[in-house]
Amino acid sequence: MDGHRENDLSGPRRGKIAELAGAYAAALLSADEIAADIAIREAMDAGLTTAEIDEELIAPALWLVGKLWERGKISVAEEHLATEISLRVLALQREAQRVAESRGSHRILLATPLGELHVVALRMVSNLLRGGGYDVLMLGADVPPHALGFAARHHEVEVICLSSTMPGQAGRVLNSVDEVRRQWPSAAFVIGGQALSFESQARAQVRVCARVSEALDAVDAMVKGADVN
């Protein structure tokens, strides 16, 4: 079994774990809580399990801190600070994983409306939502309203993200929203791009994003609103 585990941690993965372990240990020794948190979040983004993070990053770093204290290389205050930082980081890690796991039960559909062929921003949003833990379905570009509505109903999605970068396309965006609501009334919408209007922003269960970086928070808000209702 030990040999199997060693094989699992070989090559690039082993190198990445060693890099993150070094970064985490350095953060503790410099009493840098932000750097420690970043190292753990990078480990989570790299796909390390909770057990791997605990056993390969946090435990070895604390062992090193303990050894340095025993040898008189660091003070007891520094050893206590490293322990407290690790406890706070562990709490943040558990909360981040809890949020990611809860997001995984929510399905999000991404598309551009009929006539819109630009999908770069939509791909960025897809990566952001997947990284956040959501179950993401990408329909891609130029999706007719009836096809969007059918997909929303068939896959029972909770939120639909629409992107339209071409000015003057607000009508098509709203047509898509109306058709989805005809077929699947419970869907909420997050809309981004230039094809926005005061009318679209005023509609219920529609949230407008000016930037890709706002998409995760916007989807979170719509999902929480649906959960409350």
In the chain, the N- to C-terminal Cα span, in Å, equals 49
CB atoms within 10 A of CB 120: 10
The confidence score (pLDDT) of residue 6 equals: 43
Tens of pLDDT along the chain (229 residues) come to 444 444 455 578 888 999 999 999 999 999 999 999 999 989 988 888 888 999 999 999 999 999 999 999 999 999 999 999 999 988 888 887 777 778 888 999 999 999 899 899 999 999 989 888 899 999 999 999 999 999 999 999 999 999 988 777 788 888 999 999 999 999 999 998 766 655 555 567 888 888 888 999 999 999 987 654 4
Nearest to 143 by CA among 161, 108, 116: 116
The widest CA-to-CA distance across the chain, in whole angstroms, is 71
Q: Own/partner pairs for 144-147, CB < 8 Å, 24+ apart? A: 144/114, 145/113, 145/114, 145/175, 145/176, 145/178, 145/179, 145/180, 146/179, 146/183
pLDDT at site 131: 82
Q: How far apart are CA 153 and CA 19, in angstroms?
A: 45
Q: Is the Cβ–Cβ distance between 207 and 218 less than 8 Å?
A: yes
Q: Is 26 helix (H, G, I), strand (E, B) or coil?
A: helix
